[in-house]
């Protein structure tokens, strides 16, 4: 396509600063004949305080017309916990059916890891994004009493599990090592666990070149620390994926470099790309935030829209920049400028 119509949601805190760098790099990497149009949206804490709104039906209608969404970070200590999480981020993921939550982990040269030695880390987690315990399917009775009973039901549909498992197999098939690990807890969560395992085994028949593996989620956390090289592609449910991708980020350079895509592969709705980190209000406005995670999210965005060559250029620029950066401390803007210069040349 010869134009990109992008919704930009800087959001709160450092979201503003890092998104500016992401846009700088995006503008620099696109060829002359690809027209970039952007429209900025003011979602987040300020809008919530001013209007009480997080994300309205009208907002969703406007967002729908874009090719993709670039999000900085949403969240502020002045807003009660859960309001923006459910009212904005999860609402958007569910409304646009972002069922593939893609979170690559690659330990890049020059990047520190708390693990011993310099392990090879290059895997991608395909986290289911629209089901599991995130659906809000639960309730409480006898609230506030000593006999309160609260449930939070994990929803797993054959349709939802199969489409994300299939997506993960296709991604594994396209990678050199062609290995896919299912992470679940089917020794305890027998209903959902068996749906996942049976679906995984069935879809595997269609991908004979892909080596398959299964790990319980607790064991997976051990291997993410002791032997991360064993992973190539991981597929897992929404909550397990939330937890293991924070661990994955921690061992592969930290949240300063962790990128993510909330993807609807059908392109019926725009996919959304965001750094895994939050709004970091403690360092907001000081030029201290590392925009690398946002820039790598821009690479995922470019790849999703079919601009593979440009995505690869952005990733190569980040790799070169990190190698050269070493221990030097640079501002958010300086890093963005350096990356933009690299992708343009």
How many C-beta atoms lie closer than 10 Å to residue 124's C-beta?
21
Give the binding-site size for ligand IPM (rule: CB under 6 A): 4
Q: For 315-335, b where at least 16 C-beta lie within 10 A, e where not — what string?
A: bebbbbbbeebeeeeeebeeb
Q: Which of the residues 134, 167, 232, 237 is marked catalytic?
A: 134
Judged by beta carbon, residue 85 or residue 319, the one nearer ligand IPM is 85
Asked if 227 is an active-site residue, the reply is no
The position carrying tokens 């520190």 is 112
- Give, as ranges, the residues between 207 and 266 that touch ligand IPM (CB under 6 A): 242
Both tokens of residue 204? 């595997």
Does 284 belong to an annotated binding site? yes
Residue 127 marked ligand-binding: yes
- The nearer residue to ligand IPM, 89 or 192, going by C-beta atoms, is 89
Catalytic residue from among 12, 59, 97, 242? 242
**Residue 203 belongs to what H/E stretch?**
helix 190-204
Among 86, 89, 77, smallest CA distance to 43 is for 89
The nearer residue to ligand IPM, 21 or 101, going by C-beta atoms, is 101
When the beta carbons of 24 and 277 are compared against ligand IPM, the nearer one is 277
| Minimum CB distance to ligand IPM, residue 73 (Å) | 9
Question: Least separation, in Å, of the C-beta of 89 and ligand IPM?
Answer: 5
The Cα 260–Cα 151 span in angstroms is 30
Nearest Cα residue to 248 out of 100, 71, 70, 115: 115
**Residue 283 among known ligand-binding residues:** yes
Burial readout 82-118 (b: 16 or more C-beta within 10 A, e: otherwise)? eebeebbbbbbbbbbbbbbbbbbbbbbeebebebeee
Query: How crowded is the C-beta side of 325, counted as CA atoms within 13 Å?
Result: 22
3-state class of 140 per DSSP?
A: strand
Is residue 242 part of the annotated active site? The answer reads yes
Q: Give the active site residue among 42, 198, 213, 218.
A: 218
**68 to 97, contacts with ligand IPM by CB under 6 A?**
85, 89-90
Could you tell which of ligand IPM, Mn ion, none binds residue 102, using a CB distance below 5 to 8 A set by kind? none
The answer to the question of whether 33 is labelled as a binding residue is: no
Task: Determine if residue 93 is labeled as part of a ligand binding site.
Answer: yes
Cβ closer to ligand IPM: 68 or 90? Answer: 90
Q: Which residues bind Mn ion (CB under 5 A)?
A: 242
Active site residue 232: no
Single out the residue of 124, 167, 173 nearest to residue 299, CA to CA.
124
Task: Give the one entry of Mn ion, ligand IPM, none that residue 128 binds, where binding means its C-beta sits below a cut-off of 5 to 8 angstroms depending on kind.
Answer: none
84 binds, among Mn ion, ligand IPM, none (CB under 5 to 8 A by kind): none
User: Is 198 annotated as a binding-site member?
Assistant: no
- In 3-state terms, the chain is what percent helix, strand and coil (to 5)? 45, 20, 35
Q: Which two tokens stand for residue 72?
A: 């900085």
Catalytic residue status for 246: yes
8 binds, among Mn ion, ligand IPM, none (CB under 5 to 8 A by kind): none
Nearest approach, Cβ of 21 to Mn ion (angstroms)?
Answer: 22
Nearer to ligand IPM, 29 or 270 (CB): 270
Q: Cβ 165 to ligand IPM, closest distance in Å?
A: 19
In contact, 128 and 236? CB cutoff 8 Å? yes
Two tokens at 33?
Answer: 């004949």
User: Is 82 within any annotated ligand binding site?
Assistant: no
Going 62 to 64 to 66 to 72, the CA torsion angle's sign is positive
Show which residues are catalytic: 134, 185, 218, 242, 246
Query: Residue numbers of the site for ligand IPM (CB under 6 A)?
Result: 85, 89-90, 242
* Known binding positions: 93, 103, 127, 218, 242, 246, 278-290
* Known binding positions for substrate: 93, 103, 127, 218
């Amino acid at each position: 396509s010869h134009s990109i119509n992008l919704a930009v949601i800087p959001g709160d805190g450092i979201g503003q600063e890092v998104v500016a760098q992401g846009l700088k790099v995006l503008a620099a990497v696109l060829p002359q004949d690809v027209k970039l149009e952007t429209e900025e949206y003011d979602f987040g804490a300020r809008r919530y305080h001013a209007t009480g709104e997080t994300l309205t039906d009208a907002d969703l209608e406007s967002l729908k017309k874009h090719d993709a969404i670039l999000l900085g970070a949403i969240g502020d200590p002045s807003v009660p916990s859960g309001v923006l999480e459910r009212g904005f981020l999860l609402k958007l993921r569910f409304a646009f059916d972002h069922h593939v939550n893609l979170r690559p982990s690659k330990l890049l040269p020059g990047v520190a890891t708390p693990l011993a030695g310099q392990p090879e880390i290059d895997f991608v987690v395909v986290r289911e994004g629209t089901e599991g315990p995130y659906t809000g399917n639960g309730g409480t009775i006898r609230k506030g009493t000593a006999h309160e009973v609260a449930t939070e039901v994990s929803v797993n549909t054959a349709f939802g599990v199969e489409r994300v498992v299939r997506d993960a197999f296709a991604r594994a098939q396209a990678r050199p090592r062609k290995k896919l690990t299912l992470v679940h807890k089917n020794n305890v969560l027998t209903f959902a666990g068996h749906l996942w395992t049976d679906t995984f085994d069935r879809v595997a028949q269609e991908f004979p070149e892909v080596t398959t593996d299964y790990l319980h989620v607790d064991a997976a956390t051990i291997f993410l620390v002791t032997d991360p090289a064993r992973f190539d592609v991981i597929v897992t449910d929404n909550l397990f994926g939330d937890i293991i991708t924070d661990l994955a980020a921690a061992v592969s350079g930290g949240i300063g470099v962790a990128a993510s895509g909330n993807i609807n592969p059908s392109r019926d709705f725009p996919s959304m790309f965001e750094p895994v980190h939050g709004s970091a209000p403690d360092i907001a406005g000081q030029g201290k935030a590392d925009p690398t995670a946002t820039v790598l999210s821009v690479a995922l965005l470019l790849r999703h829209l079919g601009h593979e060559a440009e995505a690869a250029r952005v990733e190569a620029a980040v790799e070169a920049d990190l190698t050269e950066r070493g221990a030097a401390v640079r501002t958010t803007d300086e890093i963005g400028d350096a990356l933009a210069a690299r992708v343009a040349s």
